[in-house]
Amino acid sequence: MVRERAGSLPIDPHTGEPLPPRAQPGYYPGFSTLDQKDFWDAATRSVVETRVNQIPPIRFFSHEERELMEAAVARILPQDDRDEEHTVAIVPVIDERLFLGRTDGYRYDDMPPDGEAYRLGLQGIDAIARAMYGEPFVELTPTQQDEVFWTIHRDQPGGGEEIWRQVPADRFWLMLVSDVVDAYYAHPYAWDEIGFGGPSYPRGYFRLENGQAEPWEVDEQRYEWAAPPDALSDRHQQLGGRHPHRAPAGQEGTH
């Protein structure tokens, strides 16, 4: 079983107490992208509503792989600030991409196909966890899991060397993080969080100058929060590996 995340909630910097999960985190309280769905064409409305109401079944990952993926995603993009009803399903979206064989249309010559890369990468994550802490990744504390990922981020994996010879750690890390972010920010709950008004077609946007809000948007209302005391989120280091100046996947032009 995946270990409980009790120590992963954001903190109220004034009281030191965890902030309770919200139906709508972010700085735009009361804003709902889906409130604008009547202004979208039928095809757009169907696509967006499907993301909320029809979570894809798991067909690619095994049970053990799914558990590991859920634990990994919880560290890459924590949703501890969201209540359970408004949590964005990320692993099912990645699973669907891999099951259907959808790609970006290219593959690096030192990378296996995406599905194989994921299976190897998950084995590699678990190998690092066992080498560093003697336990599977899903049994580690959030901070220990972050430390495992820190070795992959640096392209200096702390275990499973034979696996990482088959799937380069830095390339796997960029693919994994890109997939997680893509799945999250394609969802209208994430749009609500950042105040994004959703599809512009066919109505369009018309207040295009001076940062003016559209009539259906709401004003930003910030609140203070801090990361958990043992979080590694403020640790910074340039991406390492064989290509330290490489742009993230999807931002490198024609391949």
Domain that includes residue 185, residue range: 6-194
Long-range contacts of 137-141 (CB under 8 A, 24+ apart): 137/68, 137/71, 137/72, 138/1, 138/2, 138/3, 138/67, 138/68, 138/71, 139/3, 140/3, 141/3, 141/7
Closest CA to 165 of 107, 132, 134, 120: 120
Number of domains in the chain: 1
Mean residue pLDDT of the chain comes to 88
| Whole-angstrom distance, CA of residue 249 vs CA of residue 90 | 19
Domain membership of residue 1 (yes or no) is: no
Q: Are 107 and 113 in contact (CB under 8 A)?
A: yes
Closest CA to 73 of 92, 48, 50: 92
Across the range 193-211, mean pLDDT stands at 83
Closest CA to 109 of 117, 101, 118: 117
The pLDDT-based confidence of 213 (bands split at 50, 70, 90) is confident
Enter the DSSP assignment of 51. H
Residues 75-87: pLDDT tens digits?
999 999 999 999 9
Residue type for position 59: R
Domain membership of residue 159 (yes or no) is: yes
Residue type for position 142: P
Say which range, 100-114, 145-159, 168-182, 236-250, has the weakest mean pLDDT.
Answer: 236-250
- In percent, how much of the chain has pLDDT > 90? 70
Domain membership of residue 59 (yes or no) is: yes
Domain membership of residue 234 (yes or no) is: no
Does the pLDDT at position 242 exceed 80? Answer: no
Residues 156-175: pLDDT tens digits?
999 999 999 999 999 999 99
Does the pLDDT at position 200 exceed 90? Answer: no
Does the pLDDT at position 70 exceed 70? Answer: yes
Across the range 7-21, mean pLDDT stands at 87
Residue type for position 173: W
| Whole-angstrom distance, CA of residue 175 vs CA of residue 101 | 14
Across the range 217-239, mean pLDDT stands at 80
Domain membership of residue 231 (yes or no) is: no
The pLDDT-based confidence of 201 (bands split at 50, 70, 90) is confident
Please count the other Cβ atoms lying within 10 Å of the Cβ belonging to residue 83: 13
Domain membership of residue 239 (yes or no) is: no
Domain membership of residue 56 (yes or no) is: yes
- pTM for this structure? 0.87
Domain membership of residue 97 (yes or no) is: yes
